[in-house]
Structure 1
Amino acid sequence: MRRFTQGFYGYAVALFVCLAGAGLFLLVTPQSREEHIPRLEYSITVANFGHTVPYGVWAPQKDPAGWIPNSNRIAKGQNGAQVLYLGYATAKREHAMFAQSDEKPAAGFASRMANIERTVGTQQVGGVTWEQRFREDKKQRSLVRVLPETTLVITGTADWPELAELAALLQQRPKG
């Protein structure tokens, strides 16, 4: 009598046992069909940023409807300037990021955040003019606003109306 582990039939039985085991594992493993984007609170990061800069910090007064804040951090920019980053998954599940810094020159910071120097137009948001930049190969849109004390950049794969929605909710918090 042939050994069961030899030859083609032994290989076929072993393959069947492995596939049956993998199928059983997939059958009993819980699977979620729901989207899960981690929500990260950013109020402490914004407050800490406010303690490190000599001006009133800009931040959303609330999150846009359906948006999920999913990242935030403070980093060192060029020339030792502090940079605040707040990242979001938008209601359309695109990416948007708000960044601000007092880095000089402001044009250099804005170009680095937007990944392009060239402007494509302007956009009015709440009576305020924002500069539009678009990098086609990355599908990256950016709104840039240069103020005397700080530069604000909203950038990402979100469309112009979504970026404007975040820009409309920005409010300067008093220093202190």
Structure 2
Amino acid sequence: MEVLDTIFEVIDMRSFSNLWFWIALAVMWSSTSHWVLGIPHDMIQRARREGGQAMEDVEDLARINTGRILSIVDQGALILTALGCFWLTVLAGLGFWYDVEFAQALFLLSFPMSLVVWLSIRASRRINAGENRDAALCRRLTIHRRWTQGIGMVAIFVTAMYGSWQNLSVSILH
């Protein structure tokens, strides 16, 4: 039992002081901003530069991925929205009303991603409505990426400030 006590003293198991939480946050936002609607950003840049086969590949991926997103949304938008709002409300209530740090951490990961999902649906509808070729497609994907990066920067900043405040207030109390 002393070994476990020592491990838990050395490795703090709270969310905001755990290194794995911060690694997960960085990986989540890095991959989210790199894979725009399931299309890697380097592929979009190459298509913009070279055109030809690279542009056809981006157009094909955009058609496939936006079709998948829109079919999921069109078939179950009400249920998905209700479940998403329910879980965000549960996490917010547990986290900020009942002061459960794990729920706070999950909320700070989930809420900004719900905004990115909404933006992805919106971008998919615009691409499906006609912005699905050449420069217009690349422009739409770049705009979507910039919005995603903006949300990510704000989310990382807010999470870092809140996590630091949590860590300081816990260390002052102990």
TM-score by length of 2: 0.27
Q: Look at both structures and tell me which one has the larger radius of gyration over its CA atoms.
A: 1
Q: Which structure is higher in helix share? A: 2
TM-score by length of 1: 0.27
